[in-house]
Each structure stands twice: as structure tokens, then as C-alpha cells.
């Protein structure tokens, strides 16, 4: 569908506001799952690696299913998908309050809530990119801060609710709050399409009516002839007409000739309709093949190929601190008297700051957003290497703030993707990239938890995490270097409808 030019304002700011609150309500509990993680460790007595799967699935399943989520948004629109995601998130949280074991949580909290989050995230990002062009970086930064503010508030809220109502009561209340996503989704009015109809619709409109619609008398011509023949003969015989038999024979001959002509016409129309249906099915199949070919063509872009490797490694190494930092502090024997604020809350509030500042920076013409994103990856790797040396609450709080700020690069990731592949292929490309991000989110915390179960300390785990993030950053930097792009452009030309990052950023 062709959309009109993004308004960069107007109802777009309403879209930004409701997307902010929708992400706040949806991602608040899954991102602050570190508070629930400690309770699940004590309640079910499972290992850290096995228990960490609950939070990692909640944050990874939705991203793993991003291609499916993208198809849903493309097929049904952002508004219905956002409303449906509200039911999923609320239902999954409420179901989790009745969990008898950790395996039940894998489904209720990990899969149901995670898939609902993925649907909502894809819907909010897609509709925001449709409404904004020049201010897209700011708009994406604003809506992505909703999840960070949710992390900051829900970390303290869930801890307070657990003390007052227990773990089960906390999940029920948080699930009830998530129902407000329905109100947010209902305000996501789709952007009006352009006046020109889609090519497929124009093609169908030009098809003659007789290929589609047949009058009832044409469909039942044999039945009508039979009734007419029977009524004519009966009338003659009832009136005792002498030539009843002769008229009967004559009428049969006349009607049979009509029958043959009409049947030939009907068969001809059936053949025409069948041929048209075959041609239409063939064209539809060609459209689907073109869709998948265009998606695969994206991987011929060196920057895009490096980008999906970088996002996978970044989430394997960069996501575990937001889930396990509270347990890292407990393992370091830090006294609760030194706790001025939950470490997860610090990560949340600094992520908000990072998303806003990085989103604003992305809108400046002199800033190369790809290099900005690479810088955040490299700095994140260095910060992860420093975690094993933090032995006090103050140092852990400082590292949490740094990691939270750098994690704010999520606000510019859609911006980088759009500039790399173009707005036309954003849905396809973003679905692929989010799939690998979800894979990293799902594997990262369990890997760190398993390292702890094997070594009984977190040092080795965070060295591994830092190495993964640094490796992804260097690979992306290598792909983005001008000399590499020059060699690539000389050796091969990009296929139609794809963009190198250099070209797109100058457009």
C-alpha cells in the first residue's frame, strides 16, 4: 500500500504519546523481571541458568517472532495488532500468578507475554516511522523511552507489591494494569493511503464483469429449460389439445436446440473464468516470490549483513545485566543498607536518558548514525569487562548507569535500519534483525546463569559477554568503513530498491 507523505506532526504526536504509554505498560514488568527473578529462585529452588530462561524468553520470544509480527502488522494494521497484544500481555501476566512450577512460567510469562510484547513493539515502531520522516529519530527516541521508564517504575513497583500482596498478587495487579494497552492501541489511527489505488486492485477492476459474476438464470439454465418444457407440455395435455403429442415433440426439439446453444455459452464462460483464476493465482504467486527475493537481496548489503551479526552478539552480552544485576550485587555480599535505589531502576532511568539523547543526536545531519551506533557497542563491551572489578554498591551503580545509557542505542537502531535499507523495506529488514536480537536476548541470561552455576562466580560470564559485544562492534565498524564500501561498489552493484548506508545517509 502506498502511503501519503509523512506529516511529521499533527496526529503523529498522538501516535508518539500512546506508543510511549503502550510500551511503558507492556515492557515494564518483562524488563524489570530481575526483581521477580530473585523471588522465583527462592520459590522454585531451580538453578540460576534454568530460572533465567523465564526473563530471557519474555524479552526474546517477541523479537524471535518479529518476522511473523511484521507480517501481522502489514496484513492487519498497527491498531488491531496493538489491541490484540494488550490481551496477550495481560493474560500472560495473570496466568503467571497461578504458576505451579518454573516450566509453567516458560509458557505463560516467557512465551505469551513475550509474543505480546513483540507484536506491540513492531506495531508502535512501524506506525511511528510512517508518521515521521525528518523527525523520525526524535519520535523513535520518545516512544522507546516508554519501556525504559516502565523499567524504572516497575522495578520499585513490583518490589513494593511483592511485600504487600506477595508474588501472585503482584502479577495479578501488574496484569490488570496492562489492560490499558487496549485504550492506547485504539488511538493508533492508520495513516491515510494515497489516492492512487494499488496496482493489484487496478488490475482486478479492469477485468470484465462476466469473468466474475454469472446471473442466476445462466447458472441454472438447464433447470430453467426443464421447468419450461414440463410446464408447456402439461398445459397442452390438461386442455385435451389433440396435437398435444406433436407439440410436445416440437417443443422438445426447439428447447433442446436452445439448450445446446446456452450450454455452449455457459461452458465458454466457465473456461474464461478458470483461465482468469489461473492467471490471477500465478500473479499472486509471483508477488510472493518477489517479496521473499527482495528480502534476501538485503543480505547483499554488507552493512546490513554485519548489522544482524552485531545485534545478535550485542544482545547475547548486553542484555544479561538488566536481568541479573540485582543477583550480581547479592553475590558480591553488598549490604542492603547500602542500597539507595535498585540497580535495575538505575539502568531504566539512564536508558531513558540515553534513548532521548541518542535519538536527538541521530536527527543532526552531521552525525553518522551508524558510527554512533558502533561507538555505543564498543563502549558497552568495555563496561561489561569492568563489572567483575566492581565490589561496592557505588561502582555497580555507576556501571549500571553507563550500561543503561548505552543500551539507549535501541532508539537509533530503527533509524539505522531505515537509512540502511530504505523505508520501503523497513518492515522486512526490521523483522529479520529483531529475530536475531530475540535470539540473543533468549540465550544471553541463561548462558551467564550457566557460567555462574559452573564456576560459582560471575567474572567469567561477564568477560564472555564483553567479548561478544566488542566482536559485534568491530565487525560492524569494518563493514561501515569507507574504504570497504568503495571496494564493494567497484566489485558489484547493489540490486534495485536497496541502498548502501552511504547513499541513504546523504539522501
In this structure, the answer to whether residues 8 and 150 fall within a common structural domain is yes
Q: Which of 136, 158, 190 is the last residue of a domain?
A: 190
In this structure, the answer to whether residues 51 and 144 fall within a common structural domain is yes
In this structure, the answer to whether residues 283 and 167 fall within a common structural domain is no
In this structure, the answer to whether residues 165 and 309 fall within a common structural domain is no
Please check whether residue 288 lies inside any domain of the structure: yes
Q: Which of 190, 219, 245 is the last residue of a domain?
A: 190
d(CA 114, CA 27): 9
- Position 507 scores a pLDDT of 29
Domain that holds residue 394: 274-488
Please check whether residue 507 lies inside any domain of the structure: no
In this structure, the answer to whether residues 316 and 448 fall within a common structural domain is yes
In this structure, the answer to whether residues 279 and 186 fall within a common structural domain is no
Q: Which H/E stretch holds residue 465?
A: helix 459-480
Which residue is it, cell 531505515? 418
In this structure, the answer to whether residues 280 and 409 fall within a common structural domain is yes
Q: Where on the phi/psi map is residue 194: left (φ > 0), alpha (ψ -120 to 50), or beta?
A: beta
Q: Are 301 and 500 in contact (CB under 8 A)?
A: yes
Please check whether residue 471 lies inside any domain of the structure: yes
Please check whether residue 281 lies inside any domain of the structure: yes
Give the residue among 408, 373, 415 at the shortest CA–CA distance from 151. 408
DSSP 230-298: HHHHHHHHHTT-TTHHHHHHHHHHHHHHHHHHHHHHHHHHHHHHHHHHHHHHHHHHHHHHHHHHHHHHG
Which residue is it, cell 537481496? 297
Please check whether residue 385 lies inside any domain of the structure: yes
CATH code for position 431:
1.20.1250.20
Please check whether residue 501 lies inside any domain of the structure: no
For the chain, helix, strand, coil in percent to 5 are: 85, 0, 15
Q: Which of 190, 219, 235 is the last residue of a domain?
A: 190
Please check whether residue 504 lies inside any domain of the structure: no
| The three three-digit cell numbers of residue 184, written as one number | 492506547
First CA to last CA distance, the chain: 23
Task: Going residue by residue through the chain, which has 507 residues, state the pLDDT in tens, using 9 for 90 and above.
Answer: 445 666 777 788 899 999 999 999 999 888 888 888 888 988 888 888 888 889 888 888 877 877 788 788 888 888 999 999 999 999 999 999 999 989 999 999 999 999 999 899 888 988 888 888 777 777 877 887 788 788 888 988 998 899 899 999 999 999 999 999 999 999 988 876 554 444 444 444 444 444 344 344 444 444 444 544 444 445 544 445 445 445 555 455 554 555 555 556 766 666 667 776 767 676 767 766 776 776 677 777 788 888 888 888 998 888 888 777 877 887 777 766 666 777 888 888 888 888 888 878 887 888 888 889 999 999 999 999 998 888 888 888 899 899 989 988 877 887 788 777 777 777 677 777 877 888 888 888 888 888 888 888 888 888 988 999 999 999 988 887 775 454 444 434 444 444 333 333 332
Quote the pTM value.
0.64
As for how many domains the chain has, the answer is 2
Give the residue among 415, 421, 433 at the shortest CA–CA distance from 301. 421
Tell me the HSE value of 445 on the side-chain side, using a 13 A CA sphere. Answer: 30
In this structure, the answer to whether residues 282 and 418 fall within a common structural domain is yes
Please check whether residue 474 lies inside any domain of the structure: yes
Give the residue among 150, 177, 173 at the shortest CA–CA distance from 345. 150
Give the residue among 362, 353, 364, 401 at the shortest CA–CA distance from 379. 401
| The three three-digit cell numbers of residue 345, written as one number | 531502576
Amino acid at each position: 500500500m502506498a502511503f501519503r507523505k509523512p506529516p511529521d506532526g499533527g496526529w503523529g504526536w498522538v501516535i508518539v504519546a500512546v506508543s510511549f504509554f503502550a510500551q511503558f505498560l507492556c515492557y515494564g514488568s518483562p524488563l524489570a523481571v530481575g526483581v521477580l527473578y530473585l523471588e522465583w529462585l527462592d520459590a522454585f529452588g531451580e538453578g540460576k541458568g534454568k530460572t533465567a530462561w523465564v526473563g530471557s524468553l519474555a524479552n526474546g520470544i517477541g523479537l524471535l517472532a518479529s518476522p511473523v509480527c511484521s507480517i501481522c502488522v502489514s496484513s492487519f494494521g498497527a491498531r488491531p495488532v496493538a489491541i490484540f497484544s494488550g490481551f496477550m500481555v495481560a493474560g500472560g501476566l495473570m496466568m503467571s500468578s497461578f504458576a505451579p512450577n518454573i516450566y509453567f512460567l516458560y509458557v505463560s510469562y516467557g512465551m505469551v507475554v513475550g509474543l505480546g510484547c513483540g507484536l506491540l513493539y513492531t506495531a508502535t515502531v512501524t506506525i511511528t516511522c510512517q508518521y515521521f520522516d525528518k523527525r523520525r529519530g526524535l519520535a523513535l527516541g520518545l516512544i522507546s523511552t516508554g519501556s525504559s521508564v516502565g523499567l524504572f517504575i516497575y522495578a520499585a513497583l513490583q518490589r513494593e507489591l511483592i511485600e504487600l500482596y506477595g508474588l501472585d498478587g503482584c502479577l495479578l495487579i501488574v496484569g490488570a494494569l496492562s489492560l490499558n494497552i487496549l485504550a492506547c492501541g485504539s488511538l493508533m489511527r492508520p495513516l491515510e493511503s494515497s489516492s492512487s489505488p494499488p496496482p493489484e486492485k487496478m488490475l482486478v477492476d479492469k477485468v470484465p464483469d462476466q469473468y466474475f459474476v454469472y446471473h442466476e438464470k445462466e447458472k441454472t439454465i438447464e433447470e430453467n429449460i426443464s421447468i419450461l418444457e414440463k410446464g408447456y407440455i402439461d398445459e397442452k395435455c390438461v386442455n385435451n389439445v389433440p396435437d398435444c403429442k406433436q407439440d410436445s415433440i416440437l417443443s422438445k426439439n426447439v428447447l433442446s436446440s436452445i439448450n445446446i446453444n446456452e450450454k455452449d455459452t455457459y461452458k465458454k464462460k466457465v473456461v474464461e473464468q478458470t483461465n482468469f483464476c489461473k492467471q490471477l493465482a500465478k500473479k499472486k504467486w509471483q508477488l510472493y516470490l518477489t517479496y521473499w527475493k527482495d528480502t534476501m537481496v538485503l543480505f547483499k548489503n554488507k552493512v546490513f549483513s554485519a548489522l544482524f551479526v552485531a545485534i545478535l552478539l550485542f544482545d547475547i552480552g548486553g542484555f544479561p545485566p538488566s536481568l541479573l544485576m540485582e543477583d550480581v550485587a547479592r553475590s558480591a555480599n553488598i549490604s542492603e543498607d547500602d542500597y539507595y535505589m535498585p540497580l535495575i531502576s538505575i539502568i531504566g532511568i539512564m536508558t531513558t536518558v540515553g534513548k532521548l539523547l541518542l535519538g536527538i543526536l541521530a536527527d543532526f545531519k552531521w552525525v553518522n548514525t551508524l558510527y554512533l551506533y558502533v561507538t555505543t557497542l564498543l563502549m558497552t563491551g568495555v563496561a561489561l569487562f569492568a563489572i567483575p572489578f566492581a565490589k561496592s554498591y557505588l561502582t555497580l551503580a555507576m556501571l549500571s548507569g553507563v550500561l543503561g545509557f548505552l543500551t539507549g542505542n535501541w532508539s537509533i537502531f530503527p533509524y539505522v535500519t531505515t537509512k540502511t535499507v530504505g523505508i520501503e523495506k523497513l518492515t522486512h529488514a526490521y523483522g529479520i534483525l529483531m529475530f536475531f536480537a530475540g535470539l540473543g536476548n533468549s540465550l544471553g541470561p541463561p548462558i551467564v546463569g550457566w557460567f555462574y552455576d559452573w564456576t560459582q562466580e560471575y567474572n567469567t560470564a561477564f568477560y564472555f559477554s564483553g567479548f561478544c559485544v566488542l566482536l559485534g562492534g568491530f565487525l560492524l565498524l569494518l563493514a561501515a568503513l569507507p574504504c570497504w564500501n568503495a571496494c564493494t561498489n567497484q566489485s558489484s552493484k547493489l540490486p534495485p530498491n536497496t541502498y548502501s548506508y552511504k547513499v541513504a545517509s546523504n539522501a
